[in-house]
Amino acid sequence: MDMTAVLSFLAAGDYTIAREVIQRGFAALFFIAFLSAWNQFPALLGEHGLTPAPRFIAATTSAQAPSLFRWKRFAYTDRRLRIVCGVGMLAAMTVVIGLPQAGPAWTTIPVFGLMWWLYFSISSIGQRFYGFGWESLLLEAGFLIGFLGSHEVAPSLLMILFLRWFVVRIEFGAGMIKMRGDSSWRDLTAMDYHHQTQPMPGPLSRRAHLMPGWWHRGETLGSHVVQLIAPWLLFLPQPIASFAAAAIIITQLALVITGNYAWLNWATILLAFAGISDSFLAWIVGGPWPGWGWPIGSLAEVAGSSTSNAEFGSANVLPLWWAILIAVFVIWQCVLNVPALRNLFSSRQKMNASFNRWGLGNAYGAFGSMTEFRDEIIIEGTLDPNATMDSGEWRPYVFKGKPGDVHRRSPIVAPYHLRLDWLMWFAALGDYRQSWFYALLERIGNGDSQIRTQLGPDPFDGQAPALLRVRVFTYRYATGQERRRAREEGQPRPWWVRSKPRTMVEPTDLRDG
């Protein structure tokens, strides 16, 4: 076969808009991730955090947790953590505005590689606070998408197909873990509980929960169809692949508006764009596509690029050196993906698992088991040293996102990630027997100013409580009838109804540790 024909075949020139969405979108997610670390890491994992990173680094090896902070000349300090976050946010912004994309084909690789390594260095020492599937998803995607290249070359068909396989691992993996893990997914009752019991509800979660039973059956069935079937359709010719990607995007947007899963849903949406061609977008949205290039052309001009809108995405032949580089890279990644492929079809499927120290070729998934009730841990303090469980003025410590005040509507948080709030959900399920939880109670009891930055308004204006107590309640959404009754009685309308109070920690003075 003629080499020019091969290089032309490998040039996916109809996916230039998809490349822009994926690269700029993931750069924005990296920015949010670094911002989250800037704001939360020192209090949770810093030098004086709940589970200090320096202690973790000293107790582990580079093989167990590779990190820039193991370098003796850059040993962890809170100041150096923020330097890393600042550099990461700066690198992310250059991609958002399009600077690396305006350079030679390879310039996106070191920029995304830098973001990957800096955030990997944070995540690998993040312990329980970074033990979420979207951390590895962001890192793996960030490692890959730099190889989509700059505007100088068309996206490689091999990379587009490999990113579609990434979507299969995410969506099909999640679908299979549900089918294997909990009978409620198989009998279509899972969504009867999900909106009420999910870790971080949003403002529309209550409305979604109160929908009729037939609606929830449809939600569950629709989830199975999209997760188990649609990802495989991404490998069919257009426009079938684009329709399949659109189905995935729509269902992910439904999850965005009914929950707060950090950047998990947004990352999946961005990767699904690997299945949407410029031609499909032109058919759906109109033009001028793909020559339009939306902000692409203007940003390229700002960056000093000679690429015009009319020329953007017009390269129909990949340079030979670039085609070889991408082929070698994709073959290497396919080898790393073998354990993940086996895992998809294993009866002992693992969820959110890594198979190598660098977190490439991971297994993904969520909600392998469905929680049917919601417990919330409520931490309360008082300035009265003589208060008891049944007397005294007790005030709750409010978290930024998790339910507490029964009259507060759940906020929109995602794609930002409130790590402490998420772990409080796990603590209520029984995961409170962890060092971070006891450290949290001690810091709150001592009036620690650093941990207060991770909570809502301080009920005692920075003063340490004389006593601290912890109770657990069962929460459910207030019905429409209960809210109307409260309004008729001149009372604040409840968002939640709580019951079954249980004592976790008796009134305790923690001011001396």
Residues forming beta bridges with residue 497, ordered by sequence position: 476
Whole-angstrom distance, CA of residue 47 vs CA of residue 82: 13
The answer to whether 483 touches 494, Cβ cutoff 8 Å, is: yes
- pTM for the whole thing? 0.93
- Express each pLDDT in 162-218 by its tens digit: 999 999 999 999 999 999 988 999 999 999 999 999 999 999 999 999 999 999 999
Residue 309's pLDDT is 38
DSSP per position, 442-456: HHHHTT-HHHHTTBS
H helices then E strands: how many in the chain?
22, 4
Residues forming beta bridges with residue 455, ordered by sequence position: 399
Whole-angstrom distance, CA of residue 418 vs CA of residue 404: 15
* Residue of 265, 286, 276, 269 lying closest to 243 (CA atoms): 276
Task: Identify the residue whose tokens are 């996206």.
Answer: 155
Whole-angstrom distance, CA of residue 30 vs CA of residue 505: 39
**To 10 degrees, what angle do helices 133-145 and 157-181 make?**
170
- Express each pLDDT in 207-225 by its tens digit: 999 999 999 999 999 999 9
- Residue 269 in tokens: 């949406």
The set of residues, in sequence order, having a beta carbon less than 8 Å from that of 104 and lying 6+ positions away, is: 150, 152
What is the distance, to the nearest Å, from the Cα of residue 310 to the centroid of all Cα atoms in its chain?
A: 36
Largest CA distance in the chain: 88
- Residue 246 in tokens: 């659109």
Task: Identify the residue whose tokens are 């994992």.
Answer: 45
Instruction: Supply the DSSP symbol for 339.
Output: H
Whole-angstrom distance, CA of residue 417 vs CA of residue 41: 12
Please tell me whether residue 317 adopts helix, strand or coil conformation: coil
Those residues of the chain that have pLDDT short of 50 are 290-314
The answer to whether 180 touches 349, Cβ cutoff 8 Å, is: yes
Residue 3's pLDDT is 84
Q: How confident is the prediction for the chain on average, in pLDDT?
A: 92
The answer to whether 131 touches 138, Cβ cutoff 8 Å, is: no
**To 10 degrees, what angle do helices 157-181 and 320-336 make?**
20
